[in-house]
Amino acid sequence: MKKIFSRPKSLKDAPFHYCPGCGHSIAHRLICEVIDELDIRGIAIGVPPAGCAVLAYNYLDIDMIESPHGRGPAMATGIKRMLPDRVVFSYQGDGDLAAIGIAESFHAANRGENITVIFINNAVYGMTGGQLAPTTTMGQRTTTSPLGRTRELEGYPVQVCELLSGLRGTTYIERCAVNTPANIMKTRRAIKKAFEYQMDNKGFTLVEILSPCPTNWKMSSVEACKWISDVMTKEFPLGVMKDIPSAQEKKAVAAHD
Amino acid sequence: MKGYIVINKEICKECHLCISVCNRDCISPSTEYNLKGYHPVFYNDNGKCNGCGLCATICPDVAIEVYRER
């Protein structure tokens, strides 16, 4: 018998502090698997957010530096400009990226900084107790929208991928989920692609990951995964929003033929 | 038997996602406790496991190791 699956080497041997069924730990593992596969453990630098994943440096066995709330892309910009041969990624939640840090994220994307942003979208503020986030879906009940999100009071959810793909600076933007094994494998491919583009100096890459938060959605883990497929993907459709290098490649192949 | 899994019951958090994705009833809930106070799942060795790795792919806590015949 051959071992075909075990803990990735760059994931520390520490038990996760996340709640049962949390998508953060799946995302951590996928990043570690990609780092092992591309063999970039020595040159990868991560920037964890404020939020549930604030302790990500306890799990990822790579260089990590904590950023002020929402300022991950700004810090990653600085690191990448000083050390252009490193693979720099910022790991952010929806409160971190889409609320307090929207300015930094927007302008880093607009400048086309050669960094990768891993954006975990779980539709609530997880760490502070499930308040309404910019990405909360219409009608969703949270502790600060007990009757459900409405257009009059809270407005519409922010679709970060669609927003940033309108900017000319961005290179690759994809929305994935971690609710089924098939979607998890797709997410892994997306993260790998984003890191490869960064290593080829292609520009700003962002992978949005729809992630279950069973505790704050007040569901079981299995129901939370189902809720992503049934409700959340209607508001946030999965798929590649923008992929300039592959589009250019296809164009070149078509022209060659 | 084409494969088997090993579950680290100390880091299992009883989310039962592995049970929901296993098509062959190879994983079952238990009533024993681990050090954190969860009821960890256990490998139900019914000879049907083919080492597909779906449970390990979805396990948030990386508690499952998969072995397969090659």
- The shortest C-alpha distance from B68 to chain A (Å) reads 5
Neighbours of A105 (CB within 10 A): 26
Q: Which of A4, A24, A29 sits opposite B67 (nearest CB)?
A: A4
Domain-wise residue ranges, chain A: 23-256
Residue of B nearest to A183 (CA): B58
The whole-number pLDDT of residue A93 equals 92
Q: Which residues pair with A5 in a beta bridge?
A: B66
Mean pLDDT of A139-143: 94
Query: Which of B10, B12, B15, B54 would best serve as a mutation to test chain A binding (most A beta carbons within 10 A)?
Result: B15
- Work out how many CB contacts closer than 8 A connect A with B: 74
List of chain A residues whose C-beta atoms are within 8 Å of the C-beta of residue B22: none
Mean pLDDT of A32-61: 94
Q: Which of B11, B58, B68 sits opposite A181 (nearest CB)?
A: B58
The verdict on B18 touching A (C-beta cutoff 8 Å) is no
Q: In the structure, what pLDDT confidence band is assigned to residue A256 with cuts at 50, 70 and 90?
A: confident
The whole-number pLDDT of residue A62 equals 95
With 90 as the cut, is the pLDDT of residue A38 above it? yes
The whole-number pLDDT of residue A231 equals 94
Q: Which domain holds residue B47?
A: 3-68
Dihedrals phi, psi of A4, to nearest 5 degrees: -110, -10
The whole-number pLDDT of residue B2 equals 87
What does the alpha-carbon distance between residue A225 and residue A222 come to, in Å, rounded to a whole number?
Answer: 5
Contact A25 B10 (CB under 8 A): no
User: Residue B50 is part of a domain; what is its CATH number?
Assistant: 3.30.70.20
Q: In the structure, what pLDDT confidence band is assigned to residue A34 with cuts at 50, 70 and 90?
A: very high
Alpha helix (H) ranges present in chain A? 23-38, 72-82, 94, 102-111, 160-165, 181-199, 214-217, 221-227, 233-235, 244-256
What are the CA-CA distances from residue B55 to residues A2, A168, B51 (Å)?
Answer: 17, 40, 9
Match 């993260």 to its residue by tokens: A191
Q: In the structure, what pLDDT confidence band is assigned to residue B8 with cuts at 50, 70 and 90?
A: very high
What angle do the packed helices A72-82 and A102-111 form, to 10 degrees? 40
Residue type, A185: M
Contact B51 A220 (CB under 8 A): no
The whole-number pLDDT of residue A204 equals 96
The verdict on B25 touching A (C-beta cutoff 8 Å) is no
- The shortest C-alpha distance from B63 to chain A (Å) reads 8
What angle do the packed helices A23-38 and A181-199 form, to 10 degrees? 50
Cα A78 to its chain centre, rounded Å, is: 20
With 90 as the cut, is the pLDDT of residue A1 above it? no
Q: What's the DSSP call for residue A156?
A: P
Residue of B nearest to A33 (CA): B57
The whole-number pLDDT of residue B47 equals 87
Q: What burial class does residue A14 get, using C-beta atoms within 10 Å of its C-beta: 0-12 exposed, 13-18 middle, 19+ buried?
A: exposed
Alpha helix (H) ranges present in chain B? 17-21, 54-58
What predicted TM-score, i.e. pTM, was given to this entire model? 0.95
List of chain A residues whose C-beta atoms are within 8 Å of the C-beta of residue B60: 16, 18, 20-26
pLDDT, tens digit (0-9, with 9 covering 90-100), for A149-191: 999 999 999 999 999 999 999 999 999 999 999 999 999 999 9
Mean pLDDT of B11-16: 94
Can you identify the CATH homologous superfamily of domain A23-256?
Thiamin diphosphate (ThDP)-binding fold, Pyr/PP domains (3.40.50.970)
The whole-number pLDDT of residue A89 equals 96
pLDDT, tens digit (0-9, with 9 covering 90-100), for A83-127: 999 999 999 999 999 999 999 999 999 999 999 999 999 999 999
Percent of chain A with pLDDT over 70: 100
A114 touches A84 (CB < 8 A): yes
Token code pair at residue B36: 């954190």
For chain B, the domain total comes to 1
3-state secondary structure of A257: coil
